[in-house]
Amino acid sequence: MMVSFFDQFASPSFLGIPLIAIAIALPWMLFPTPPSRWINNRLITVQTWFINRFTNQLMMPLNVGGHKWALLLASLMVFLITINMLGLLPYTFTPTTQLSLNMGFAVPLWLATVIIGMRNQPTVALGHLLPEGTPIPLIPVLIIIETISLFIRPLALGVRLTANLTAGHLLIQLIATAVFVLLPMMPTVAILTATVLFLLTLLEVAVAMIQAYVFVLLLSLYLQENV
């Protein structure tokens, strides 16, 4: 039974061909393409309003140099939200429960922010490794600690997204299994458990959106330090 709980996180395949590429590409096919007309339908209007509001909120603390990242960060936000939400549907696979995929997003983007900081303002970028006013005996220790914390950032990005989504999917499956087991024996308890399952599902919808937002927000904060 415990093995079957984790089977949902295995990458799907058909005739030995991995299907994770289809799972990653599918969300882009679901978004409507804005037409050339001046008047759009309600779905495109809401989609455009959401992306504009998110981009303005994200780019507000950044200077003009950081605005070049607006398209990349907004696209990543929409992509992660869509994948996380589709993963809550029955009999679907959530690619963002794979640590390798999340690290593939986190490491290059984090490394790009570090390279930009070292290229544009190396003194300020290196100055983050040593807080101002540090006593002289603590300087070597703090430099080591800040360097370790710098290199842990992409790992924290990937692990946070993976752990939150994996824990939520496991809880939903465990409680759903309990509902089916308790239904013939204790219907009242099963109904109460189903209510908890419904509330947990609503919570997981919020977590799916919040975790995508946190992922992109932390990347923007790393970018803010280096531009």
Domain that holds residue 2: 1-226
pLDDT at 142: 85
pLDDT at 1: 45
Helix pair 70-86, 187-226: axis angle to 10 deg: 170
Question: Along the 227 residues of the chain, how does pLDDT read in single tens digits?
Answer: 445 666 666 777 777 777 777 778 777 777 777 667 776 778 788 888 888 888 888 888 888 878 888 889 988 998 899 889 888 888 788 888 888 889 999 999 999 999 988 888 888 878 778 877 778 888 888 888 888 988 999 999 999 999 999 988 889 888 988 898 888 888 898 899 999 999 999 999 999 999 999 999 999 989 888 87
In angstroms, the CA 184 to CA 175 distance is: 15
| Cα–Cα distance list, 195 to 22, 23, 166 (Å) | 34, 30, 21
Give me the number of domains the chain comprises. Answer: 1
pLDDT at 64: 81
User: Which has the closest alpha carbon to 155: 225, 101, 108, 106?
Assistant: 106
pLDDT at 29: 76
| Exposure string over 161-186, b if 16+ CB within 10 A, otherwise e | bbebbbebbebbeebbebbeebeeee
The single residue listed with the structure tokens 């981009």 is 55
pLDDT at 93: 82
Report the relative pairing of strands 13-14 and 17-18 from DSSP bridges. antiparallel
pTM (2 decimals)?
0.83
pLDDT at 95: 87
**What's the DSSP call for residue 38?**
S
- Angle formed at CA 114 by CA 108 and CA 116, multiple of 5 degrees: 100
